[in-house]
Structure 1
Amino acid sequence: MPRGGARAVSGPPPDPRSLRSTKVADKGGWRTLPAEGRQGDAPEWPLTTPADRELGLWDDLWAKPQATVWEDMGQELEVALFVRTLAEAERADARVDVKKMVRSYLDSLGLSVAGMNRNRWKIAPPLEEEHVADPVAQPAVRRPSARDRLKVVPSGEGS
């Protein structure tokens, strides 16, 4: 068994806000994915005849922001294998090793927070609609705090 040394997923995931990760990001960089997700239809299903559940998952996944990267990298087969494995893992009698494979796919495809960090992906903030001030809106009422309940008690002069 190998000992010591770095492993592919050893240590904490990179943090886009840390100074050290920023230095590493200058070399590799973080990729910002569009908040609105991938536009267009899902690619053609690459495996044998899919079940209805698999087609539903397939369409949903190809609308996610991560799908822009999968498309660039030609990962249709890997995503299809994930879909098939996920559909199998959803069954009540699914084996534990199948569920572990789903977790691995989630990380490698960037569908989990840890996977997003390891792949150095972040999702762009959604475009905000223009906020129109409501002239009827009431100002926020200040809630009393614990400090408001405290009273100053004068010290007794003769006690």
Structure 2
Amino acid sequence: MPNPPKMDPQRGSRGRGVITLPAAGRKGDPPPWPLPGRMAAAEREAWAQLWATPQAVAWEQLGWTRTVARYCRVMVASEEPDAIAALLAQAVALEDRLGLTPKSMRLLLWQIAEDEVGQKREQSAGARGRIKAVG
């Protein structure tokens, strides 16, 4: 009996490769609010913040705008002092589905690209700080 092929951790079990998301996040304005009714001020702020994340690049490609809007609405409601536990549970579940936790990012095969330019800049700045002047 032949051995089954080994899973390639870089490609996942279904042959789909790892998706690298830009560390700087998604650029540009957030998409229009897709849900009926007006946005509350807290929802408007959260919507803008969510669409500036690295994960938003994938959401846009996948067309997950309505799901992100539902998460935004549930998240804001779950942060109210009198929120019921079910709202918090729903917010946590949506965070996982949207790749907003390290575990869910691994399961979705998403990783955030390293900012190599920024790292080199920090390294060179640190090295300059350690150089002593000889007089």
TM-score > 0.5 by shorter chain: yes
2:128 counterpart residue number: 134
The one-letter amino acid paired with 1:21 is P
Alignment of 1:20-35 (within 5 A): 21-22=9-10, 24=12, 27-35=15-23
Alpha-carbon separation, structure 1, partners of 2:14 and 2:46: 35
2:38 counterpart residue number: 49
Unaligned runs of 5+ in 2: 1-6
The higher radius of gyration belongs to: 1
CA drift at 1:137: 3.2
Q: 1:67 aligned to 2:61?
A: no
Say if 1:137 and 1:116 are closer, same or farther in 2 by CA, change over 3 A.
same
CA drift at 1:104: 0.5
**TM-score, reference length from structure 1:** 0.69
The one-letter amino acid paired with 2:60 is E
CA drift at 1:136: 6.2
CA drift at 1:26: 7.5
Work out the number of aligned pairs and report it.
120
The one-letter amino acid paired with 2:25 is G
Alpha-carbon separation, structure 1, partners of 2:107 and 2:47: 23
CA drift at 1:128: 2.4
Among candidates 67, 83, 86, match of residue 97 of structure 1: 86
The one-letter amino acid paired with 1:29 is G
**TM-score, reference length from structure 2:** 0.80
Alpha-carbon separation, structure 1, partners of 2:66 and 2:117: 35
Q: Cα RMSD between the aligned structures?
A: 2.0
The structure with more helix, counted as a fraction of residues: 2
Among candidates 124, 134, 140, match of residue 113 of structure 2: 124
CA drift at 1:74: 1.0
Q: Percent same amino acid among aligned pairs?
A: 33
Three-state SS of the structure 2 residue aligned to 1:27 is coil
Alpha-carbon separation, structure 2, partners of 1:117 and 1:107: 10
